[in-house]
Amino acid sequence: MKKTARKSSKQGRIVNVSSEAHRFPYPEGIRFDKINDQAGYRSYLAYGQSKLANILHANELARRLKEEGADITANSLHPGVIATNLFRYNSAINSNPFAKWLVNGIGRALLKNVQQGAATTCYLALHPQVKGVTGEYFADSNLSKTTQHGQDVEMGKKLWDFTMNLTK
C-alpha cells in the first residue's frame, strides 16, 4: 500500500470497522494476560474487547504510518446498529421468544439497513473531506469520541506488540 500510494500519488486509506460496543469491554480493556481464559469469558465483554482492539489497532497503525511519512490514513468507525444476523447464535436471545421478537421484529424497523450501515465506511474510504485525517473514530460520517481505553496510546502499542508476537 505504501508503494502504491507513493507511485500513484494517491492517498491510501485503511478503515477498521469497530462499534459503540467498544465502550463495554472487560474493565482492564484488553485482557492481555487472560486472552484465552475460558473461566472468565463473557461474550458481551469479549465482543466489546474485540471492538476496542479494532480502534486501538487503527490508532496505532495511523501513528506508525505517520511516523514513517507514508501517505496512508487509518481510521475506525461505528457503522450503526444494522439489521443483520449478528444475534443468530446468541442463545440468550434465541431461547427467549420476547427477546427474539424484539430483535427480529421491532428492531428491524428501527435499525439501519445494510446500505445505511456502509455509509460511514464508504465516507472514510472515498470522501475528499477526510483526506489526511488519520487516527480518528467516526460514527454517522462524523468524528466521534471513543472511551479513555480507545484513546490509550500505551494500550495500543501493547496490543500491536502482543499481536505481532502471536503471529510469529
The domains of the chain are located at 10-159
- Answer yes or no: 41 catalytic: yes
Residue 114, pLDDT above cutoff 90: no
Residue 89, pLDDT above cutoff 70: no
Banded model confidence at residue 104, pLDDT cuts 50, 70, 90: low
Q: Which residue has the cell 462524523?
A: 142
Q: What angle do CA 136, 137, 142 make, to 5 degrees?
A: 105
The rounded distance, in Å, linking the Cα atoms of 152 and 137 is: 13
Class of the CATH-defined domain 10-159 = alpha beta
Over the stretch 61-86, which tens digit does the pLDDT of each residue have? 999 999 999 999 999 999 988 766 66
**Catalytic: which of 41, 47, 89, 123?**
41
